[in-house]
A and B are shown apart, each in its own frame.
Chain A
Amino acid sequence: MSRTAPIHPRFSVFWQRFLNGVILRYTLMVLLVLLLFGAILLISGRNPLQSYKDMLAFTLGSAYGFSEVLVAMTPMLITALAVALPSRLILINVGVEGQLYMGACFATWGALTFRDLPAWCLLPLMALLGMAGGALWAFIPGYLRALGIVNETITTLLLNSVAPKIVSFFIFGFWHSPMDTDKTANFVPAARLPTFFGTRVDLSLVIALVLLALFWWVMRYTRWGLEMRAIGGNPQAARRNGIPVSAYLVVIMCIGGAIAGLAGMAQVSGYYGLLLANFSRGTGYMGFLISWLSFGDPLGILLTSFVVAIIFTGGNLLQLTQGLPFAVINILLAFTLFVVLARPTFLKEKAS
């Protein structure tokens, strides 16, 4: 896999593109997606127009639906950030899925072992453990990459397959509740992230937004951001200018992993309230796609995650009201991605 072409070209590219006749482009893409998915709905005997109306009314028209959009958006924001940060050094972190599992695993250990601690002590501890788990899982590919031994794309993919098995090992072997074999008992209330206004929106949304803002600030206004951009632009030149490139590669990969681990902690502590074997079906890969679609730009990540979350939540509703299998959301999502990936040249921005 080559690394000559950067995945995320430049910092402000997303905004340049956003301003370049964006409305026409995005409207056409949305229409195309709705047409394609409408065909699928028709084939399976559902009314597409009614379905779309239901989806919109639910996700944007009701307070509960909107809160569910925010719930779905939160892990996407964090995992996309876990990809976007390393991508600035042209590190391709496809390993968020595994790092997420390790984060969830470490955080669960904390939740089960220190269950008597008060929440103000236990939650930060779980967050730190989660980040440590994710960072550990990212350290291996980061270190191997910095030594120039193995490409991080390959190693992160391999480790993605290992992490869920480690989680299963602990759940089935030690942590499962008396009733089930494939999940832990519910966490004690002190190990749960606080939620807002009686919805399922929890503190991790705030954390995600703060992290995104921090990312934007670091990249824009600090020396680290400048040096990272230098490495991303030309690692050879950066090295000759005295920037410790290898150290950056390892540290940034680990920070990316730590963010992914935090997403895992937020999933078990906030969304699920327990650890379930194979709980994530592609959350980490979703983060990769979102980061890639938004060129690693923080505001782009926010917008893209929001749109994808609407698709997800709306699709969830379709499953309930139209009796479609849950996984059909993935078709809608995939059509969206296909259309964005394959958009005809007249919908693409002019090459600058």
Chain B
Amino acid sequence: MWVFIVRRLLYAVPILLGVSVLVFALIHLAPGDVVDMLVPPEVPREVADLLRRRFALDQPLHIQYLAWLGRLLVGDLGISFFTNRPVADELFGALQNTLMLALPAALLGFTLGVALGALAAFNRGTWLDKLFASTAITGVSLPHYWVGIVLVSLFAVIFDALPAQGMGPPGVPLSAEQIKPLILPVVTLSLIPMGVISRLVRANVLEILSHEFVGTLHAKGLLSRRVLYHVMKNAAPSALALMGLQFGYLLAGSILVETVFNWPGSGGLMNLAIFRRDIPVLSATILVLATIFVVINILVDVLQALIDPRMRR
């Protein structure tokens, strides 16, 4: 079994390398290079070429790649074009802000997802289940960023109950001032995990129910705690795996929601970087987020292997 874990970890290395190559390739496929972005076009070519040599841009590509990779591995994520400050500082702060959204959204989405899924499964065939089915399909067809906009227009504009944008004072959210701006983004963010997890839980629970308790469980629920416990225990592994993946998505894919709410997280940072054509910030953020996603995937695989020996290939 440890062989499997080691193999899985080793396997991640070429993937991460591939990711870095991809980002590097994208940077170099971009129209114009670094110097063109730094200096105005009136500058004569010799000066621009001098700058290029200074930035080591005249070196062959693989040398540049290795140098870039080397810098990354020691934590040097580059300097922002716009603010001239190290990217790592800004990114670190931004990630914390994203975490402030992702964690509650995960909690909310996962618990509601499990509850709804289980509820639908135990009440199979009733109106509850049908409602669930239609909600599920609606949920998948909705652009979640649009839901965020709708929520804003409802609660911020029409009802004027919650702030439409921005983050409150930094730090662990305990005060009302900090919590209020959190509510809408967290709810919006939690929608997708809630939908995905509730569907999986429903399918799993249905499958387990069909296994053992055929004919001995009344549909209206002789829901003894023992039955519930047994069902949940069996449904847990794949649900947990999916939760891990969804958490990864929440961390790495939050940009749309953060844009809607002007939240200064990693997504917001990317947004600004796109707007300002700040390539170092953009590429570093993408790289870090992708790495986080890969790491979470590995953790999920390992966890699954630990829990369920059948999953190992």
| Pairing of A with B | no
